[in-house]
Amino acid sequence: MSDEAAIACMMVLGAFLSWLATAYVRRYALQHAILDIPNVRSSHATPTPRGGGLAIVLVFMGAVACVAFAGLLQSNLALVLMACGGGVALAGYLDDRKALPASIRICIHAIAATLAVIVVGGIAQQTLGHMGLHGVWAGSLLALVALTWATNLFNFMDGIDGIAGSEAVFIAGAGALLNWKFGGEAGLTAVMLVLAAATLGFLIWNWPPARIFMGDVGSGFLGFTLAVLGLAASRHGHVPIEAWAILSGVFLVDATVTLLTRMVRGDRWFEAHRMHAYQNIAGRWRTHLPVTVLAIAINVFWLFPWAWMASLYPARAILYVAAALSPLAILALLAGAGRNRA
């Protein structure tokens, strides 16, 4: 069997196993009352099972082990994805079952990000040069901040049905396409595709109206894993890290603009809220599906072409980041990011 056929089979199997595992997690959550109870910050009205992201974690871990065993993925990267990603997922799982102190979660995320940077490496020196920065420490520090922020990004943005799952499918799938097209390592392409497939299996259950939520076990894991894969691909292929920032634009811009707006306003920015742009739009439209579809459309028809251009002309990538994300920042502000819904 060719490598392409093997990867295709792994994707189909991964999607099916994730779908099946999500069904089991949902039944278990219902039996043991592991539910997301609506509160003033919620965007849903009925108690809903949570923790479905565990299916993504388990399927992806198995796929990484298989790809590494086949010799297509570097063992050190596989270790980071499984050990550090597993630590982030475990912290999320414990938080889903019984609220984990924020200090402990942040500590685990920081340790995972630090180990990932040590093993994988920081932002490449060539990329730093495009940003006007220099030095190994600058690249490592920037990578550490990016990984820590990305780990929490999906948690912040996982507030309406289907949006986090579809975002992960897009980033992983589009990243795999770019990595393949521009000469990246086959093993990285394979695990990206399997991550997209595993998330798709879960997304079937999470599509509006959601029958189960991802939970912190899935959101933190996806944020961390996608960031590590992007960092690794930028160091071992020809897809610059800026392209990954563009692919993550919907979540990156909304979360960042919301956070900065709340900080400027003097709000207690570290407290939970529902002031993101996508939440405000969903509140005005009184439904989740159009908002999720809108995010998918922005990803496919706006962000992906810019990410392609950044990969094609890496010397100008930082300019493409600005061109791609600036309009999204304006839209986020117009949608009331960081402010209470009217």
Q: Could you read off the pLDDT of 216-259 as tens digits, one per residue?
A: 999 999 999 999 999 999 987 778 999 999 999 999 999 999 99
| 3-state DSSP assignment of residue 45 | coil
DSSP state at residue 266: T
Residue 183, number of CB atoms within 10 A of its CB = 10
Q: Which of 278, 250, 272, 294 is nearest to 337 (CA)?
A: 278
- Which is nearest to 194 in space by CA: 292, 300, 68, 309? 68
pLDDT tier for residue 133 given thresholds of 50, 70 and 90: low
Query: With contact defined as beta carbons under 8 Å apart, do 19 and 202 qualify?
Result: yes
pTM exceeds 0.85 for this model: yes
Mean pLDDT to the nearest integer, 160-169: 96
pLDDT at 67: 93
Provide the pLDDT confidence category of residue 135 given band limits of 50, 70 and 90: low
Do residues 150 and 241 make contact, with C-beta atoms less than 8 angstroms apart?
Answer: no
**Which pLDDT score, from 0 to 100, does residue 43 have?**
66
**Dist CA 301 CA 236 (whole Å):** 27
Cα separations in angstroms, 278 against 233, 248, 323:
29, 15, 21
How is the chain split into domains, by residue range?
Answer: 3-237
State the pLDDT at residue 156. Answer: 87
DSSP designation for 315: G
Give pLDDT, residue 266. 79
- Contact of 78 with 109, CB cutoff 8 Å: no
Instruction: Mention every residue, 6+ apart, whose C-beta is less than 8 A from residue 216.
Output: 53, 91, 92, 93, 95, 96, 155
Query: Is the pLDDT reported for residue 273 higher than 80?
Result: no
SS3 140: helix
**Residue 193 DSSP code:** H
- The vertex-57 CA angle with 165 and 40, nearest 5°, equals 50
Distance CA 279, CA 30 (A): 26
Report pLDDT for 8. 85
Give residue 44's pLDDT.
67
Residue found by looking up tokens 């010397």 in the block = 315
Distance CA 140, CA 148 (A): 12
CA atoms in the 13 A half-sphere facing the CB of 328: 29
The two three-digit tokens of residue 66, written as one number: 């298989």
Of the given ranges (134-143, 164-173, 323-332), which has the lowest mean pLDDT? 134-143
